[in-house]
Chain A
């Protein structure tokens, strides 16, 4: 484990968020937009879990715990809540894209819009 720098999870999270924003901003297909939002959620969740890590720590369980520090358990709880909320949001978005496709026959964000100005 010595070869992995300590900031590696944060770099990975920044990379995920960066790629997610590239997808969200520049891809016109609505399904790809939803994939970008899912990747953004993954990046933010990784950031939050990585905040709780303590070097050499054990899992935050009190039964038969070996000596040493424990990693923080609150970020793990926050991440679980966030994952569940994002599942609901993604399901809702996918349902709406199905309805948009049935009405307009297109999943392009520029060709399937009816409201502008």
Chain B
């Protein structure tokens, strides 16, 4: 057990990586062998994530140095800077890791039946494991160049997954747009990493945060990093690739590509709070994040009401809810240098923003899976052709209702808890932000009610009179997320105290992140 706890950060990344290359070989033996192997490996990885989560909650920041004599020997004997590649797991990294693992579990169970009859299934599962490796590596990394490598791994796997259904013309186009966007963002991230390396001669995030003085080159690097990560997380006005890509990805991979966008959001917060955290005093960067958040909320939801394709509407809602997270954490960034305001409402705003990430990934994954369940049975995503589906697809309708009420922020679901935190704290910062947030919530409910009325209720269409309910494995995959949504809604205090508040503390106190690596000097 001690071995597992010490080596968990590297095992969580290494086991799915090796499995991703074994899956096509095992796939020659048959579908059952391949699916069983994938689920076993992923179950083992989830167990390791749970072990590491409990350990980080008890002990604090955990470090794994590659190739060192002991796993937490970050700075070798006689050196003053860390020279090895380091994985540094703090509470915020563990939070994102938990989100990614849960969504991947639900997506894997959902995909078991969804892909029946498609060719190249071994490659699908292999790519899903690679995407999982990319995202977990991005969560755990403590090194800037490693961040670039895992960002590219996640982007390549995500784009290949989005373009999986190559028999559909628009699927390949969605995947192509995603890889072009990701390649250019990642190259500019590499450029900014080069700038930071040239000044301080270290690549480790904690070491850069220790040595940084805020020169003009650092400002240019921050601008490039901010814009590149903002494009990867689909913030307005850089959001236009997101509806194309989320619409065409097969179900099961759409929540994972969505989670990859939020890992880019995590990378943005890691760079701004930890590396540049000591220099934030005018609030310019906080207001920049708030403006992007406001634009995302407003443009996302107004475009979403207008759409007729059900998954494209949900993709625009994903953009709009991303604005809520940026708003919460932007308010936290803007008041981080002001201790009185931080205690009064800054922490609550950050708690709300971070809590909203996990809530959003769960209910958005549920909604995407419900939409793809409809596509699986009917063959179209156009809401103008749907009608009266609730008579035959009762489970799907139930899951859609749970997801729609959660995203609109109706109590007692989890969306209400995080939105309440955001409204109440952002109101004290600037009332206009809270007004825009509430208006956006209203239009969100309106758009989901529109689709519910036209697609699910009403007289049954003759074309779809004999649709059946979706198979059991898809219902099980969706119900995992539905149970989690209801649980998070009934026990919000438990979730906030256990996993959200430590993440907020980890982001605010960048000194502890630095000391975990640099303080290990003998």
Chain A residues close to B by CB (< 8 Å): 17, 24, 30, 33, 37, 40-41, 44, 47-48, 51, 74-75, 78, 81-82, 85-86, 88-89, 92-93, 96-97, 99-100, 103-104, 112-115, 117
Whether the Cβ atoms of B247 and A115 lie closer than 8 Å is yes
In the complex, besides A44-B191, A86-B187, A96-B159, 4 extra interface pairs with C-beta distance below 8 angstroms are A44-B194, A51-B194, A99-B163, A113-B173
Residue pairs across A and B with Cβ atoms less than 8 A apart, 12 shown, are A24-B184, A33-B180, A47-B194, A48-B190, A75-B194, A81-B145, A86-B187, A92-B179, A93-B180, A96-B179, A114-B170, A115-B312
Q: Give CA–CA (A17, B194) in the complex, Å.
A: 14
Binary per-residue interface labels of chain B (152-174) against chain A in the complex, 1 for a CB within 8 Å, 0 otherwise: 10011001100100100110111
Known: A78-B145, A85-B149. A96 touches B197 (CB 8 A): no
Query: Across the two chains, which residue of chain A brings its CB closest to B159?
Result: A92
In the complex, the answer to whether B184 meets A96 with C-beta atoms within 8 Å is: no
> Which residue of the partner chain B has the closest CB to A93?
B179
**Those 10 A-B pairs whose CB atoms lie nearest each other, nearest first:** A103-B169, A96-B176, A99-B172, A115-B244, A114-B170, A51-B198, A48-B194, A85-B152, A89-B183, A44-B187
Size of B's binding interface in residues, CB under 8 A: 37
**Shortest Cβ distance from A34 into B: residue:** B180
Q: Which of B187-229 contact A (CB under 8 A)?
A: 187-188, 190-191, 194, 197-198, 203
Q: In the complex the two chains form, what is the Cα distance from A103 to B174 in whole Å?
A: 13
Q: Are B175 and A96 in contact (CB under 8 A)?
A: yes
Cα A6 to Cα B449 with chains together (Å) = 64
B243: CB under 8 A from chain A? Answer: yes
Main SS of chain B's interface residues?
helix
A100 to B169, CA, bound (A): 7
Tell me whether A40 and B187 are in contact in the complex, defined as CB-CB below 8 angstroms, given that A89-B179, A99-B166, A115-B243 are known contacts.
yes
Which residue of chain A has its CB nearest to the CB of B245?
A: A115
Which residue of the partner chain, among A47, A86, A92, contacts B160 with CB atoms under 8 Å? Answer: A92
Q: Is the CB of A82 within 8 A of B197?
A: no
Chain A proximity of B281: nearest CB distance (Å):
30
Residues on B facing A (Cβ under 8 Å): 145, 148-149, 152, 155-156, 159-160, 163, 166, 169-170, 172-176, 179-180, 182-184, 187-188, 190-191, 194, 197-198, 203, 243-244, 247-248, 306-307, 312
Separation of A46 and B159 alpha carbons in the complex (Å): 27
A114 to B381, CA, bound (A): 15
Report chain A residues within 8 Å CB of B198. 51
Q: How far is the CA of A61 from the CA of B184 in the complex (A)?
A: 34
Q: Which of A37, A47, A81 contacts B180 (CB 8 A)?
A: A37
> A93 and B176: CB pair below 8 A?
yes
Q: Which residue of A lies closest to B178 (CB)?
A: A96
Chain B's closest residue to A17 (CB) is B191
In the bound complex, residues from chain B placing their C-beta under 8 Å from that of A115 are 170, 173-174, 243-244, 247-248, 312
Q: Which interface residue of A81, A92, A104 has the most chain B CB atoms within 10 A? A: A92
CB–CB B180/A74 < 8 A: no
Assembled-state Cα–Cα distance A56/B472 (Å): 69
From B148, B176, B191, B243, contact of A100 by CB (8 A): B176
From known contacts A48-B190, A48-B194, infer whether A93 and B173 are also in contact, taking CB-CB under 8 Å: no
A74 CA to B184 CA in the complex, in Å? 23
Residues of B within 8 A of A51 (CB): 194, 197-198
Docked complex Cα distance between A48 and B145 (Å) = 12
Tell me the bound Cα distance from A80 to B138 in angstroms: 20
Residues of chain B within 8 A of A113, CB atoms compared: 173
A86 to B180 alpha-carbon distance, docked (Å) = 11
Would you call B183 and A37 a contact (CB within 8 A)?
Answer: yes
Q: Looking across the interface, which residue of chain B has its beta carbon closest to that of A99?
A: B172
- Which residues of the partner chain A approach B190 to less than 8 Å between Cβ atoms? 44, 48, 82
Residues from chain A with Cβ under 8 Å of B194 in the complex:
44, 47-48, 51, 75, 78
A85 contacts which chain B residues (CB < 8 A)?
A: 149, 152
Q: A44-B191, A89-B179, A115-B174 are in contact. Are A96 and B163 (CB under 8 A)?
A: yes
Partner of B173, one of A41, A44, A100: A100
The CA-CA distance from A56 to B175 in the complex, in Å, is 47
Q: Using Cβ atoms and an 8 Å threshold, which residues of chain A touch B179?
A: 89, 92-93, 96
